[in-house]
Amino acid sequence: MGDTALEKTAEELRHEIDELHRQQREITERLRDPRGLRRGGFSNVAPRNQGRRAFPRPAERNDVEDEPPAKRRLSSAVVKVDGEDVSKDGEFPVDGNGTQVKVGENGTSDQSDKKQSGLHRGSWSQRDAEQRRTNKRYEAFALPEPAPRVLPKNEDPKLVNRNRRMLGNLLGTLEKFRKEDKQRSGTDAYARRTAALQRAEEKAREESERLRLQERENLTEKRRRDLTLRARVAAKAEQKKLELLFLQWSEHQKKLSNFIR
């Protein structure tokens, strides 16, 4: 029964020591960042390689259109008989486009050579039309050439006169404002307004300085309290560690005494 009570007390001491260490870490964090500016600052940072994923590039359709049609392999072999293409297994002969044609009695096909040449010419003309459409698309997407920039000429008398006229108007306006300001500066209303502005600026500066000093004093006082609290927590943690060591030593001595007996 005493062993159970002793183990429970040791477990409680370990738990109290862990809690005191946690309080020490919190106080140390407050001392490092008294204003709390770095708390939760890196929670929304995305992974480094998240935005570097490669996207598959789509295939170029123009290259596919320009290529000739793929050749298809026939199921039956073809041999030449008297200069004609005839299927080996007695089936119909095959023309250049891969389609079957009927064979006459003398072994010749019903389709003439002119029709076959016409089909070849039609396929080539279709490819030429596709090529022309592709070239037109490239020309449509081509960027226009930038127009040459025309720089102003300093030798132009009209431009020089305009610049002189604008500069003269600006200098005249500035001189007018300077004279008006000089006339108003001698009046009592202007002096009172200037004095009021100076007093307001001085008061705002004093208030800002007072708030800055007050904030510094508060931070200093808070730091002093945290240092004192951390020292007390550290001392209490050391005390708990000594108590735990004493309990472990007592348990060890008790086991030794039982062994000697």
Q: What is the pTM of this model?
A: 0.38
d(CA 220, CA 214): 10
Q: 150: which 2 tokens? A: 């025309």
d(CA 69, CA 119): 14
From first to last of its 261 residues, what are the pLDDT tens digits of the chain? 445 445 568 888 889 899 999 998 998 998 888 877 765 544 444 444 544 454 555 555 544 445 555 665 555 545 554 545 444 444 444 455 554 544 444 444 445 555 555 555 666 677 777 877 777 776 665 556 666 655 566 667 888 888 889 999 999 999 988 888 877 777 778 788 888 999 999 999 999 999 999 999 999 999 999 999 999 999 999 998 998 898 888 888 888 887 765
Domain boundaries, the chain: 155-186
